[in-house]
Chain A
C-alpha cells in the first residue's frame, strides 16, 4: 500500500492564497474524492501533483519520499497521471494509436501495428472493457472515450491517477459503465484521486472524502460515515448572504411568460413567468439545460413546442433572434470570448454591434450616435478602458463582461437574459455586474440570471427556479432556503433538507 501525503502545502497567487497550509493524505486501493466548490483550491492542489504548477511552500511525499516536480513531464516520470475533463483524444485516429500516441511500437522505421493493437487490447482487457483497439475514436461513445483516456494514462503504469470530473460529459447510463472500470482499477495498488461536482456520485464510487474550502483543508472523512448533508456543510460552511437592496422590487405586470417549452434532449415542459423589474434566477447543475433554455427563449436556438408571450402577446415559434431583439430581448452569452465579443475589434465597436440598427439612420451609419452610445455605456457601467479604440482583448475579464452587457443595454432591452455573467471575473467585478442588474431592474428591466454559483443566485434574485435534467423541479425565494438547501434541491435530493 502506498500513501500520497501533503504537508502544509501553500500556493500564493498575486492577491490570492489558493492553498493555505493544506495537510492531507490519499491512500492506494481506494477512490479518494477531492471536493470543494469553485475556487476552493482543489484544482490548484491537483495541478501541484500534476507538475503544472509548483507550491509556494510546503511539500508532498509519496511513501515518505519527498517530491518536487518542475514540469508535467517530471510528474509523469514519477508515476503521476491525470485525466482531464476535456477530452484529449484525437478523434480521427484508432484507439490503439491514441493510447500510444507519440510512442507507437516500431519495427525499424515502420509502425508495428500488430504489436500496437495487441498491447492496446491487453491494456483495455485489464480495464475490464471490450473496446476494439482498431476502432476509430470518433465512433466510440463518450464513456468509452473516457475509458480510452484512462487506459492511456494507465499505460504509463502510474502510482497516482487523478480523474478530473470524469463524468461531466457522460449520460446517466454511461456513468455506471465508467464506475465499473474505476472499481476494477481499485484492485490495483494505485492511488485514485477523484474530483467531481456531482455530489450524488460520491457515495457510489468513493471511499474517502477530502474537502477543501477557501484554500484550507476542512476535513477528511470516510464516505460510509457521512450523509450528503454533511458533505454540503463541509463544502459551504456558514455563508453570509447579502440581501437584495429594498428598492429593487418587481412590479405586478408580467412581461414574459413561457408555457410548456420543449426542446428534444435539452429541456421539457418548462413554464414560468417573469414580472417587470424582477430578477429571476435559474439554478441547476451543469447540463441541466439552463443555457439551452435561455438560447431558445432568445431565438438563438430553435425549440420544438410550447409558447412564449412577451407583454401578453405570443411570439411566433419561427420568430428569429432579430425579431426577438426588436421585442426587447437581450442575451449575454455563457462564453464571452467565443460568443459574446469580437476580440480583434475595438471596445467601441463591441459596444455597438447589437444596437447597430438603432444607432443607424436606416442603412446609413450615424457615427456620432454610435460613438455616443458607446461612451454612454462606458460611463454608466464604469468600464475601465485605456482608449475606446483599443482592442477589446486588452481589457480584463470583468471589463470585457461589462462590454458584453453594455452592447445589449444599448438596444434598450426590456428583458435581459444573463448566462453565467460572473464566470472567470474577480469578486469586485462580480459585485459590479450584480449592481448593474439591480440598477436596470429599478428602471423596470426584467432579468433572468443563470449561474453555477448558488450563493450568487441567493444574493441577487427575487425568485429562483430550479432546473434538473431539463425540467423545472422547484421554485424558491432566497429567504426560504439557505445555500445548503438550495444545493441539495439542485441535485434533486429531496431527502436532504
Chain B
C-alpha cells in the first residue's frame, strides 16, 4: 500500500523530478547555467510559446486541438503593426493607434475561436482539419496585410518594453508568463467553466446530459488560445520591433510538445496548467542546455522530437501502471 503510494507519487510528478535532475546535471556541467541571468533568459525565451501553451492546455483538456496558433501570432502581429504605421498619419496618436490595433487583433482572435468552435460543434468537423484550414488562411491574410515584408520600427516605446523591459532583474515576458499561468490555474481549478472543460473533454455526451453547456465551453477554450496568441504576438513584435507574416511559423509543434510533456492527455479530460508550466520550463531548460553545450542546431530538433515521443510513451506507461 505504502509502496504503491510512493510509486504513484513518483508517476504523478515525473516531469518535476526530471526537471530537477536536469537542472542539477546542468549546474554541474556548466558554471554558466545556474546564473540569475541565464534563468531569466530561459523564462523570457519560453514566455512567447508558453502563454499559448496554457490556452492550448485548455483546448486539449476539452478534447480539442488548435493547429492554427502560429498563423494567429503572425496575423495579430501584422495587424498591430499596420495600425501603428498607418493611423498616426491621419492624426491619431501612436499610443491610441497601437491600443486600437491590439483591440482589433483581440476581436479577430475571439472571432476565429468562435469559428473554430462553431465548425467543430455545429457541423461536427474535426478541429484538427478546421484549424489546419485556418492555419493556412490566416497565414495568407497576414502576408496580405503586411505586403510580404516585415513592418518595422513603428511601435511606441511602451509597447517595445513589453518585450524587452525588465522589472528589477525579471523580464516583463517572464512576468506575463507567470501571470497567465496563475490565471489558467485559477480558471481550471476554481471556476465552473474550468470544471466544464474537464467534463466535456472526459465525456462530451455525459457532460451534455448533465446539463453542461458544451458549445459555450468550447467557444471559451477555442477563443482563449487564440487570444493568448495575440498576447504572444505583442511580446514577439515588441522583442524584434516589427510585425511579420513569418512570425509563429511551426510553433504549434513546440506548444503542443510542452503541453504533452506536462502530462495533459491528448484524449482529453485530464491535465493541469501546473503540468504545462513544468513542460514549458523543461523544454526551455533542454534547449538552453543544448545551446550552452554547443549542440548542433539540427541535432537539437532531433532531441526535441525524441522528448515529445518519450513524453507520450511515459503517459501511456503511467496510465497502465496506475490501472
Chain A residues near B (Cβ < 8 Å): 300, 321-322, 325, 331, 333, 338-345, 349, 353-354, 356-357, 360, 363-365, 367, 407, 411
Given that A356-B192, A357-B192, A363-B192 are contacting pairs, would A345 and B211 also be in contact in the complex, using a CB cutoff of 8 Å?
A: no
- Across the interface, B195 reaches (CB within 8 A) one of A339, A356, A407, namely A356
- A sample of 15 cross-chain residue pairs with beta-carbon separation below 8 angstroms, ordered by A number, consists of A300-B208, A333-B206, A342-B198, A342-B269, A343-B202, A344-B202, A353-B206, A353-B207, A353-B210, A356-B196, A357-B192, A360-B192, A365-B192, A365-B195, A407-B210
Apart from the given pairs A339-B209, A345-B269, 17 other A-B contacts in the complex at a CB distance below 8 Å:
A300-B208, A300-B209, A331-B209, A333-B209, A338-B203, A341-B203, A342-B199, A342-B202, A342-B269, A343-B203, A354-B210, A354-B211, A356-B195, A363-B192, A365-B189, A365-B190, A367-B190
Docked CA distance A101–B20 (Å): 53
Chain B residues near A (Cβ < 8 Å): 189-196, 198-199, 202-203, 205-213, 269-270
Contact, CB under 8 Å: B211 / A322: yes
A-B contact count (CB 8 A): 70
B22: shortest Cβ distance to chain A, in Å? Answer: 29
Contact, CB under 8 Å: B192 / A340: no
Docked CA distance A353–B203 (Å): 12
Q: A333 to chain B: which residues have CB within 8 Å?
A: 206, 209
Docked CA distance A364–B189 (Å): 9
Q: A363 to chain B: which residues have CB within 8 Å?
A: 191-193
Q: B213 to chain A: which residues have CB within 8 Å?
A: 322
Contact, CB under 8 Å: B205 / A338: yes
Closest to B269 in A: A344
A92: shortest Cβ distance to chain B, in Å? Answer: 17
Q: B190 to chain A: which residues have CB within 8 Å?
A: 364-365, 367
Contact, CB under 8 Å: A356 / B212: yes
Docked CA distance A342–B196 (Å): 12
Q: A338 to chain B: which residues have CB within 8 Å?
A: 203, 205-206
Closest to A408 in B: B210
Q: B270 to chain A: which residues have CB within 8 Å?
A: 344
B11: shortest Cβ distance to chain A, in Å? Answer: 14
Given that A354-B211, A356-B196 are contacting pairs, would A341 and B191 also be in contact in the complex, using a CB cutoff of 8 Å?
A: no
Docked CA distance A344–B322 (Å): 12
Closest to A367 in B: B190
Q: B193 to chain A: which residues have CB within 8 Å?
A: 363
Q: A340 to chain B: which residues have CB within 8 Å?
A: 206, 209
Contact, CB under 8 Å: B206 / A339: yes
Q: B206 to chain A: which residues have CB within 8 Å?
A: 333, 338-342, 353
Listed from nearest, the 8 A-B pairs whose CB atoms lie closest are A342-B202, A325-B211, A353-B210, A354-B210, A342-B203, A360-B192, A365-B190, A322-B211
Q: A349 to chain B: which residues have CB within 8 Å?
A: 195, 198-199
Docked CA distance A325–B209 (Å): 10
Q: A356 to chain B: which residues have CB within 8 Å?
A: 192, 195-196, 210, 212
Contact, CB under 8 Å: B209 / A364: no
Closest to B190 in A: A365
B87: shortest Cβ distance to chain A, in Å? Answer: 36
- Across the interface, A342 reaches (CB within 8 A) one of B189, B191, B192, B207, namely B207
Q: B210 to chain A: which residues have CB within 8 Å?
A: 353-354, 356, 407
- Across the interface, A365 reaches (CB within 8 A) one of B191, B202, B209, namely B191
Docked CA distance A363–B216 (Å): 14
Docked CA distance A341–B210 (Å): 9
B208: shortest Cβ distance to chain A, in Å? Answer: 7
Docked CA distance A338–B203 (Å): 8
Docked CA distance A356–B212 (Å): 8
Contact, CB under 8 Å: B191 / A364: yes
Docked CA distance A15–B164 (Å): 72
Given that A339-B205, A363-B191 are contacting pairs, would A321 and B198 also be in contact in the complex, using a CB cutoff of 8 Å?
A: no
A23: shortest Cβ distance to chain B, in Å? Answer: 43
Q: A300 to chain B: which residues have CB within 8 Å?
A: 208-209
Q: B211 to chain A: which residues have CB within 8 Å?
A: 321-322, 325, 354, 411
Contact, CB under 8 Å: B198 / A345: yes
B82: shortest Cβ distance to chain A, in Å? Answer: 36
Q: B199 to chain A: which residues have CB within 8 Å?
A: 342, 345, 349, 353
Closest to B203 in A: A342
